[in-house]
Structure 1
Amino acid sequence: MADGPVAEVLLRRLEAADGGLDSAELATELGVEHQTVVGAVKSLQALGQIIETELRSTKRWELTAEGEEIAQEGSHEARVFRSIPPEGLPQSELMRLPSGKVGFSKAMSNKWIRVDKSAADGPRVFRVVDSVEDEVQRRLQLVRGGQAEKLGEKERSELRKRKLLTEATLKTYWVSKGSAFSTSISKQETELSPEMISSGSWRDRPFKPYNFSAHGVLPDSGHLHPLLKVRSQFRQIFLEMGFTEMPTDNYIESSFWNFDALFQPQQHPARDQHDTFFLRDPAQAQQLPMDYVHRVKRTHSQGGYGSQGYKYTWKLDEARKNLLRTHTTAASARALYRLAQKKPFTPAKYFSIDRVFRNETLDATHLAEFHQIEGVVADHGLTLGHLMGVLREFFTKLGITQLRFKPAYNPYTEPSMEIFSYHQGLKKWVEVGNSGIFRPEMLLPMGLPENVSVIAWGLSLER
């Protein structure tokens, strides 16, 4: 029965009723779903003051899916009892029945059956009584028939414990006549047309009240790409923590700033063409801070600042090679070098979120182009404890509270740590970033004071 006919029947019943009607009782009388009557009530509400409604909530008991099955077929224990012939049944065979495992324990506790463990073919189950009364089925049938009040609290509690019965909240409408009650339904106009105005027919037509508080249709507009949206969230977190954004607009970088300034040796595998995109034209960078370059060269080839260096022949031509930057740590090196030139030293906190490029084989977890997030803090006497504290604050703002740190190796940080977070969906610990304290071999050639430490961390935006 459609909402229209149900609405008409509702109005006729309401005209004859003394006081009002209950939507659930009307649904039962008409033999329709309660939701159908609710739809008719709401359609009449939209027509103005034809009816008045009061929303009511009542508690009632309902059978679960398993409860419905037991009300129809009998309880598990009764089915187990009926399946045992007079000569008994092997316990192993009984357990293979659909109701075997649940019904066996219940039937045993009811003392309907017994187990003979001395039988030649293994434990055998026999009936103890000739017949049983299936009280569980009887109680569930009472509930299904709308007589749940005949059950005691203890009986209902037992059925709920077995997940056969549940208490549901039924929301119904008490419907009464409105100030403009009528048994005839006339369609309300929703638009005032020029024809209505010119003919004057609008005077005789009912109009649906305008809701001036309703929101209009949202205009079509662009939206931030999900990656850009997350990027802006990360940026806001850094700004809240007092960080300053580093300039990162130089996608093309020299090998010097990308590798050498970070104390990464020229024979390192990451500098191979299989991992890095090198430029053909222009192939080499022409402008480098040569005083700083010579200090870096000496640190690599001879050592210094308490380090033995790498003991190899450092080549300027290798450092001049242009490439697509493999990490934004190159931008961090530039920012720290600029900071070192300012006297006296001033503590600083920098961050960057920008593209990096790797000569990777593309798969589900590797991209040739992705975004790296990096945070850097430079101050006197920073330790690994400070780094852990900053990381916990940073990731807590992201909603990540379960963190673990694992020792790792990086060419330009010592000590170094991998950052792991517990993933609730995967139910395991997953790596979310890398971190460490920049080595003196990287910082001192820049001109930073010896008692200044720099802690840093990075992660992939896509991950």
Structure 2
Amino acid sequence: MADLESNLLQTLNAQETIADSGELAKTLGVDHMVLVGTIRSLQASEMIVAEDIDHFRYALTEESQSYLTAGSPEAQVFDAVGPNGITMAELKAAVPGEAGDVGFKQAMQGKWLALDKSGGGEPRVVRKVESIEDRTQALLADVAAGRELAQSDAENLAKKRKLIKPEQWKTYKLTKGPKFALERKKPATDLTFDMVAKGTWRTQEFKEYNFNAMGQPPAGGHLHPLLKVRTQFRKIFTQMGFEEMPTNQYVESSFWNFDALFQPQQHPARDAHDTFFLTKPAATPSDRGVPGDYLQRVQSVHESGGYGSLGYGYSWKLADAEKNLLRTHTTAVSSRMLYKLANQPGGFKPAKYFSIDRVFRNEQVDRTHLAEFHQVEGLVCDRGLTLGDLIGVLNQFFSRLGLKKLRFKPAYNPYTEPSMEIFSYSEQLGKWMEVGNSGMFRPEMLRPMGLPEDVNVIAWGLSLERPTMILYGIDNIRDLFGHRVSLSMVRKNPLCRLGL
């Protein structure tokens, strides 16, 4: 370290200016970060002055490096299809794994391929064009060669396809400081016995004491905006007579998250592209927490229907229902609570429940979406409830949030019928905007649980992040929740009152 410091000072003395510390590190044969430590130390002693030089480039990810030779996933899929076309099963065997799935999707979007269903049997994947230009592979080759990409191409490869990653680093321009010297003399921090005995204290440089410096003030805690808004939601629910459900179980089985809600096993939401499935433990045996007779009723209503329904007409698989996942909605908690309510000692009693907690979905992270966010959910379970009761409760609930103008639009959910999207008019933005979703739970979900025929459940849900962003003027959800959150924002955000 002493030799490195000496070499740096001697080089600076000879050249007056060192244009780039990165080049100096290569010349001296040392790691740049080691040199940075020496620069910081000399800078603190005012022996040198360092000016930042910012560097940026894109680099290939581990996945994309293989595409330089094999071609992009879409090109691999196009080559595998061939002039005569193949079935989906043959395509997955030819291009297995994620490369096949991504490649097929990209090739379809690029209108290179099409699905031919005219044969009457299994659909075949056929070519729509005779030849293609693998532009993705060419762009990856440009990145590997250090050439710059157009902004739109770089954003597509980095943010959407995750094939390249940004790399940023700093180097420094170095000049002489006010106390420059070829050798550093470290100032003493204390007057020692030897200095007094030998008289060296007369020529010794001492570090200055700052007698006016204050001690480090103790840091107090601060509430995050999401916690403040969540507290207001809790107050509104409890004032309306709702009871909070236990939501501390982030890991759920697919049975409670999907099957108990009458969501078919082939539904796109159950695909790995939308849901985080666990690998260890990958499954929970059905005999742990799910009564056998209830399991049979759920299987029956999926396969052959009942309670006025035809079902889905497919072969329900227990293995799919046992898969573990990070819950995609707090409705998984609602399904457990409703089953418990239907089978409690003394029979059914009306109830009003709510929950506010985290859910997880395998979504592309952008300004308005996160893979981990909060869901607010409310439900009422009672005899003879109708759609009019749902609309009345929604008007009462949202008016307490300060949203008094509501509209409803018919929608579809696998486990509610009828279903409605909820819109509210924003005086601040001057337009109608979607604020939540709602509906009445289907009999195919409720009756297998054991709830009486005349009992209905009305429910609604919304995110916690969207109203918080509107209240606090935040236009990027990543500035509200996640590693990019500013601690200054957490310390200085104002009180929250939701129309109370």
Scaled by the length of structure 2, what TM-score is found?
Answer: 0.49
Q: How far apart, in 2, do the equivalents of 1:268 and 1:399 lie?
A: 36
Kindly state the Cα deviation for residue 290 of structure 1 after the two structures are TM-superposed: 1.8
Structure 1: which amino acid aligns with 2:326?
L
Identify the match of residue 450 of structure 1 among 429, 449, 453: 453
Query: Deviations 1:57-112 (Å, cap 9, x if unpaired)?
Result: xxxxxxxxxxxxxxxxxxxxxxxxxxxxxxxxxxxxxxxxxxxxxxxxxxxxxxxx
Deviation at 1:220, TM superposition (A): 5.7
Other-structure match for 2:12:
none
Residue matched to 2:432: 429
Q: What corresponds to 1:302 in structure 2?
A: 304
Q: Indicate which of 388, 399, 409 corresponds to 2:391.
A: 388
Residue matched to 2:232: 233
Q: 1:405 corresponds to which residue? A: 408
The offset of 1:319, in angstroms, is: 0.2
Cα drift, residue 446 of structure 1: 0.0
CA deviations on 1:293-350 (whole Å, 9 max, x unpaired) are: 1100000001111111000000000000000000000000000000000232100000
- Measure how far apart 1:382 and its partner are: 0.3
| Residues in 1 aligned to 2:427 and 2:362: alpha-carbon distance in whole angstroms | 32
Shift of 1:392: 0.7
In structure 2, how many angstroms separate the alpha carbons of the residues matched to 1:268 and 1:230?
33
CA shift, 1:219, in A, is 8.6
For 1:252 and 1:220, locate their aligned partners in 2 and report how far apart those are by CA, in whole Å.
35
Tell me if 1:314 matches 2:299. Answer: no
Counterpart residue number, 1:325: 327
Q: Give the C-alpha shift of residue 221 in structure 1.
A: 2.5
Counterpart residue number, 1:365: 368
Q: Deviations over 1:2-27 (max 9, x none)?
A: xxxxxxxxxxxxxxxxxxxxxxxxxx
Correspondences of 1:237-386 after superposition (within 5 Å): 237-286=236-285, 287=288, 288-342=290-344, 343-386=346-389
Q: CA deviation at 1:429?
A: 0.7
Give the whole-Å Cα distance in 1 for the aligned partners of 2:255 and 2:347.
Answer: 26
In the TM superposition, residue 223 of structure 1 has moved relative to its aligned partner by: 1.8
Q: For the aligned residues, what is the CA RMSD?
A: 1.2
SS of corresponding position for 2:381: strand
In the TM superposition, 1:105-144 aligns within 5 A as none
SS of the equivalent of 1:372 reads: strand
Amino acid at match of 1:328: T
2: CA distance, partners of 1:289 / 1:372 = 28
2:420 matched residue in structure 1: 417
Match of 2:438, SS state, is: strand
After superposition, the Cα gap between the structure-2 partners of 1:219 and 1:400, relative to the gap in structure 1 and judged at 3 Å, is farther
Counterpart-to-counterpart distance in 2, 1:312 and 1:243? 38
Give distance in 1, aligned partners of 2:432 and 2:274.
27
Question: Where in structure 1 are there 5+ consecutive unaligned residues?
Answer: 1-217
Can you list the C-alpha shifts for 1:149-193, whole angstroms capped at 9, x where unaligned?
xxxxxxxxxxxxxxxxxxxxxxxxxxxxxxxxxxxxxxxxxxxxx
The alignment partner of 2:465 has SS state of coil
| Aligned equivalents of 1:412, 1:340: Cα separation in 2 | 18
Secondary structure at 1:306 match in 2: coil
TM-superposed deviation, 1:289:
2.1
Kindly report which structure 2 residues correspond to 1:86-97, keeping only aligned pairs within 5 A, or say none: none
Query: Matched residues in 2 for 1:345 and 1:274: separation?
Result: 39
In terms of Rg, which structure is larger?
Answer: 1
State the AA in 1 paired with 2:313. Answer: K
The residue matched to 1:247 in structure 2 has which SS? coil
Structure 1: which amino acid aligns with 2:257? N
2:86 equivalent in structure 1: none
Letter in 1 for 2:249: N
Query: Which letter does structure 2 place at the counterpart of 1:256?
Result: F
Task: Give the letter for the 1:311 counterpart.
Answer: G
SS at match of 1:264: coil
Equivalent position amino acid for 1:264 in 2:
Q
1:390 positional shift: 0.5
TM-score, structure 1 length as denominator?
0.52
CA distance in 2, matches of 1:457, 1:382: 14
Give the Cα separation in 1 of the matches to 2:291 and 2:372: 29
What are the Cα deviations for residues 358-413 of structure 1, in whole angstroms up to 9, with x where unaligned?
00000111110000000010000000110011011111111111111111000000
**Cα distance in 1, alignment partners of residues 317 and 250 from structure 2:** 23
Q: Distance in 1 between matches of 2:331 and 2:322?
A: 17
2:379 and 2:337 mapped to 1: Cα distance? 10
The alpha-carbon deviation at position 278 of structure 1 amounts to 0.2
What's the CA shift for 1:426? 2.0
Gapped regions of structure 2 (runs ≥ 5): 1-216, 467-500
User: Residue 428 of structure 1: CA displacement?
Assistant: 1.1
CA distance in 1, matches of 2:408, 2:246: 29
Q: 2:444 is matched with which residue?
A: 441
Deviating beyond 2 angstroms after TM superposition, the runs of 4 or more aligned structure 1 residues are 218-221
Q: In structure 2, how many angstroms separate the alpha carbons of the residues matched to 1:377 and 1:426?
A: 32
Residues paired across the two proteins, number: 246
Partner Cα separation in structure 2 for residue 290 and residue 426 of structure 1: 52
Matching residue's letter, 2:280: D
In the aligned structure 1, how far is the partner of 2:449 from the partner of 2:234? 27
The CA distance in 1 between the partners of 2:451 and 2:255, in whole Å, is: 18
